[in-house]
Amino acid sequence: MVISCSYLLHVHADAWQRATVHPFLTGCKEGSILPAQFNTWLVQDYLFVKDFTRMLGQILGFAPDHHLDTLLGGLVALKDELLWFQAKAAERGLNLDAPRQSICQQYCDFMAGLVVEPYPVQATALWAIEYAYNQGWQLPGPMAEPYTEFADRWGNPGFTDYVNVLAAQADEVLKVASPHTQTLAATTFLRVARLEESFWQMAFNAA
Ligand code: HMH
């Protein structure tokens, strides 16, 4: 049997639902999210994205030639995204030198550990991490101000296209991966789903 991104979404539909549909996001849509909750997410996600950028930099070292262009596009977008996080934090008077909360630290450790995994596992993780935010911010529909720009950042059509290419790239290498690597990719997908759910809950708990 050959696994693919759509297969993983199908067999782990419940875990994926919990990763992408959360009261935090409903709270942004309805404008009922509390400043402490949103600001906790903003600071912790900045700390996450810094390490996510490092993870993508590592993955680049394993990617086949024809995947480089898409991955480099992702890195360019992250350059802009890190500056955007800094601007959003400054607007809100938030200190980005905060320590990582436990779940953020676990997620960052997980990403750093991907360096020892085969490329199909890395490609699956990269797709899942990006697709989680693409879906999470898009599914609720239009959000209350000032959250529309946050929803747009990960829900916009260009980002959706990027995530679809990441899925195609992961599928391409999963198709020729060993059964062991495919099993590892499935485990990794589930781990991403659980970390995503916990990350939303971490911010939500800041109330
Ligand atoms: C927790 N997952 C988390 N934060 C993000 N910014 C993304 C995924 C998308 O890159």
Quick check: 130 pLDDT over 80?
yes
Write down the CATH superfamily of domain 5-204. Answer: Heme oxygenase-like (1.20.910.10)
Which atom of ligand 1 is nearest the CA belonging to 154?
9
Q: Which two tokens stand for residue 155?
A: 């829900």
Is the CB of residue 81 below 6 angstroms from any atom belonging to ligand 1? Answer: no
Q: What is the pLDDT of residue 207?
A: 74
pLDDT in tens, 30-84: 999 999 999 999 999 999 999 999 999 999 999 999 999 999 999 999 999 999 9
Q: How confident is the model at residue 1 (pLDDT cuts 50, 70, 90)?
A: confident
Quick check: 135 pLDDT over 80?
yes
Average pLDDT of the segment spanning 13-26: 98
Average pLDDT of the segment spanning 195-200: 98
Is the CB of residue 130 below 6 angstroms from any atom belonging to ligand 1? Answer: yes
- 133 CA → ligand 1 middle, Å: 6
pLDDT in tens, 142-185: 999 999 999 999 999 999 999 999 999 999 999 999 999 999 99
Mean pLDDT of the chain: 97
Is the CB of residue 48 below 6 angstroms from any atom belonging to ligand 1? Answer: yes
- 107 CA → ligand 1 middle, Å: 10
pTM of structure: 0.98
Q: What is the pLDDT of residue 33?
A: 97
Is the CB of residue 150 below 6 angstroms from any atom belonging to ligand 1? Answer: no
140-148 LR contacts (CB < 8 Å, sep 24+) = 140/25, 140/26, 140/28, 140/29, 141/29, 142/29, 143/28, 143/29, 144/28, 144/29, 144/30, 144/31, 145/31, 147/28, 147/29, 147/31, 147/33, 147/38
Quick check: 200 pLDDT over 80?
yes
